[in-house]
Structure 1
Amino acid sequence: MNDRPGKPVESLTVSDEELQSLTQAIFQRHGIDFTCYERLSLKRRVIRVLGVFNVDSIHALWRLILRDRTFIYTFMDEVSVGLTAMFRDPVLWRKMQYLLNNDLVKKSELAIWHAGCSSGEEIYTFGIVLRESVFANNVTAWATDISKQAIEQAQRGGYHALKFPEYEQNYKEFNPFGSLKRYSTSGKGTFQMHSDLIRHVSFEYHNLITDPFPVNLDIIFCRNVMIYFDSGAKLKLLKKFYDSLKPGGLLIIGFYDAVMPLIDPHQFDVLDIEAKIFVRL
């Protein structure tokens, strides 16, 4: 995140026309599609970016993007704010452990996609769940995000020490008898997750809107990502997730994604409504 002092966000405004002009220009120049993001949410993020980079208009922001072709990735890092935490929503991870120990244990291998992996807490969480399950067969995972900065942090697996108590409490709700200290090393103001938890994971940049999807997957995690998209984009993503999963594959969404009314009952059945797990028909 950029820590430079910028203009007060309260003093900045962006019109709908300016936002549309910016997103269309970015798509034409870089092939990155922000046009389907939920408008008010994207507008708030763009206004925040103007303040961070100390510019007072969309035109000035566009000059920055034009001046340096790599600046678009800095812009995306600032716009993309991850909504994640280690063992966030423990009810999900308890259910995942149950599935690994029962339904999924019969599979000879698992192919998993962490779509919109953000800074990686979910990936390390699932690595721990795997470690504490009886599933012992081959697992391969693909972790992707639109933010290169987030992907780099996910690969490093280092997090601020102030987050550890929250993450430890979440983990205790999953396993009251364990501790995240078993899977991490404390440093000066940080804690480092053990790299062996993600040996099965490959990391890549990926744009959910414009890039092709992997296929023949057993599990897709896409949690608190679709919250930023409009209904049309959510419908398209749900169809693409359906095409990516094997029959019987699992789609796991976020608690705030608000896609329940959009899920086609001919494509997905509810496996666990509390944990937001759906099974591909």
Structure 2
Amino acid sequence: MASDFTDIDETILARAKLGTFSNVEIKNVDEENREKYFTHDENTYYLSNQIKNKVAFKKHDLIGDRFGKDYNVIVCRNVTIYFKNEVKEELYQKFSDALVPGGLFFTGATETIYSPEKYGLVKRASFIYEKL
């Protein structure tokens, strides 16, 4: 089963598809996983096709496009801070509707969902919400 990586920006999608990382970007990946899932030269780490082939890269407009269903995890960090409250409310409902019961929704550190129960969510930790 593939996981989706979505963004509205084609440049971001193209970079994500490449699966290349600088030494600085990879510094928090432990040595075992670096050896297992990456090859590298002096300045660049390359994610293995074994991992990249498990991801579907798709252009997606959060406001205008339909959402998929039956997701276990949705990570949307530091995006909703740019929207008006009514748009945020619509998005939170879409995220909730897209999750399976027990699925998790991660927000950014500056994003708090007030009254998450309104969207069928419960706060489990800072910036982590679970679908009821």
Give the shorter-chain TM-score range: 0.7 to 0.9
5 Å matches for 1:43-82? none
Following superposition, the deviation at residue 199 of structure 1 comes to: 2.0
Deviations 1:10-69 (A, max 9, x none): xxxxxxxxxxxxxxxxxxxxxxxxxxxxxxxxxxxxxxxxxxxxxxxxxxxxxxxxxxxx
Following superposition, the deviation at residue 238 of structure 1 comes to: 0.3
Following superposition, the deviation at residue 179 of structure 1 comes to: 5.0
Residue 233 of structure 1 is matched in structure 2 by 87
Indicate conservation of the 8 Å contact 1:219/1:245, yes or no: yes
Indicate conservation of the 8 Å contact 2:5/2:57, yes or no: yes
5 Å matches for 1:98-247? 139-161=1-23, 163-164=24-25, 167-168=26-27, 170-172=28-30, 178=32, 180-187=34-41, 189-247=43-101
Following superposition, the deviation at residue 252 of structure 1 comes to: 1.7
For residue 209 of structure 1, give the secondary structure of its aligned residue in structure 2: coil
- Is there any run of 5+ residues in structure 1 with no aligned partner, and where? 1-138
Residue 279 of structure 1 is matched in structure 2 by 130
Indicate conservation of the 8 Å contact 2:76/2:108, yes or no: yes
Look at both structures and tell me which one has the larger radius of gyration over its CA atoms.
Answer: 1
Aligned with 1:260 (options 92, 107, 113): 113
TM-score by length of 1: 0.43
- Count of paired positions: 132
CA–CA separation in structure 2 for the residues paired with 1:266 and 1:224: 19
Indicate conservation of the 8 Å contact 2:39/2:48, yes or no: yes
Structure holding more helix per residue: 1
CA–CA separation in structure 1 for the residues paired with 2:85 and 2:114: 10
Structure holding more strand per residue: 2
Following superposition, the deviation at residue 224 of structure 1 comes to: 2.2
Indicate conservation of the 8 Å contact 1:268/1:278, yes or no: yes
For residue 208 of structure 1, give the secondary structure of its aligned residue in structure 2: coil
CA–CA separation in structure 2 for the residues paired with 1:268 and 1:280: 5
TM-score by length of 2: 0.84
Following superposition, the deviation at residue 240 of structure 1 comes to: 0.7
